[in-house]
């Protein structure tokens, strides 16, 4: 079993749609959780951290369920510019090493 | 945040040769890492670059193949030695600093022929 698992997609959605990605992780001692975004032929960039209480940044909402060991990302009112690969990332219990999921590809169409 | 630059941005190399990739961060960072991302795959950690001492390698990666240097807090190099076509990949430098999360350099796209 992979340490961090994601549905690779692609998720093809129309502009304005709401789309949700889930991610599961295997190490219950994991410390921190993140969503990164990676555009084609670019490096990953931090989208948002994920907190136990859930957090929202504009159209993006991230949630963490430690009991079930999954993380979610919700994107509302999708834009064409949201098309990218979204990487679920989990840090180890020391907080100094990241493990990446395989990524979920999102394609937003007009 | 931190700005991370890498050189070269891309290269095409012949099998059996070696390539050294440089990574420069614009601020002092606590940790630096090297990742590999093969086509269509996610990122795989190669090693943690330790300042002034040997790098810490992940399973499947060895120092003879991927020697790493980190002479100071802002600079690191990764060498891909005795290259084969299987080494064709994007190599990414990454850093964590005080007060900011983990950032990535733009990557070095390596093709081995």
* Tens digit of each residue's pLDDT (9 = 90 or more) over B50-69: 888 899 999 999 999 999 99
- Rounded CA-CA distance A24/A101 in Å is 9
| Residue A96 CA from chain centroid, whole number | 19
Query: For residue A67, how many C-alpha atoms fall within 13 Å in the half-sphere facing its CB?
Result: 0
Q: Does B50 touch chain A (CB under 8 A)?
A: no
- Regions of chain A short of the pLDDT cut 70: 1, 95
pLDDT band at B99 (very low <50, low <70, confident <90, very high): low
Nearest CB to A43 within list B33, B41, B107: B107
Q: Does A42 touch chain B (CB under 8 A)?
A: yes
Q: What is the structure's pLDDT at A30?
A: 85
Q: What is the structure's pLDDT at B53?
A: 87
Contact A94, A65 (CB under 8 A): no
Q: Do B43 and A97 touch (CB under 8 A)?
A: no
Ramachandran angles phi, psi of A47, nearest 5°: -90, -55
DSSP letters for A29-88: T---EEEEEE-TTS--EEEEEE-TT-EEETTEEEEEETTTTEEEEEE-S--GGG-EEEEE
Nearest CB to A46 within list B41, B42, B101: B101
Ramachandran angles phi, psi of B86, nearest 5°: -65, -15
Q: Regarding predicted confidence, which is higher, B82 or B39?
A: B82
Average pLDDT over residues B32-43: 91
Q: What is the structure's pLDDT at B100?
A: 64
Contact B2, B92 (CB under 8 A): no
Q: Give me the total of CB pairs closer than 8 Å, taking one residue from chain A and one from chain B.
A: 35
Average pLDDT over residues B26-45: 89
How many Å from the N-terminal Cα to the C-terminal Cα in chain A? Answer: 37
Average pLDDT over residues B27-52: 90
Q: Regarding predicted confidence, which is higher, B40 or B105?
A: B105
């Amino acid at each position: 079993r992979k340490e961090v698992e994601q549905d690779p997609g692609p998720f093809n959605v129309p502009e304005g749609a709401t789309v949700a990605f889930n991610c599961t992780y295997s190490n219950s001692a994991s410390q921190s959780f993140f969503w990164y975004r990676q555009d084609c032929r670019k490096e990953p960039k931090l989208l948002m951290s994920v907190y136990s209480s859930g957090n929202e940044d504009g159209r993006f909402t991230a949630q963490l369920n430690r009991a079930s060991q999954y993380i979610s990302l919700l994107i509302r009112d999708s834009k064409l510019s949201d098309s990218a690969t979204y990487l679920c990332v989990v840090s180890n219990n020391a907080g100094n090493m990241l493990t990446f999921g395989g990524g979920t590809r999102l394609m937003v169409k007009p | 945040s931190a700005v991370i630059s890498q050189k070269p941005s891309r290269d095409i190399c012949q099998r059996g040769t070696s390539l050294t990739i440089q990574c420069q961060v614009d601020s002092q960072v606590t940790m630096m890492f090297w990742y590999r991302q093969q086509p269509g795959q996610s990122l795989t950690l190669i090693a943690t670059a330790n300042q002034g001492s040997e790098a810490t390698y992940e399973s499947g990666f060895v120092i003879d193949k991927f020697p790493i240097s980190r002479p100071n807090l802002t600079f690191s190099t990764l060498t891909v030695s005795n290259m084969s076509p299987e080494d064709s990949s994007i190599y990414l430098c990454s850093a964590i600093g005080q007060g900011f999360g983990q950032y990535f350099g733009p990557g070095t796209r390596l093709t081995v022929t």
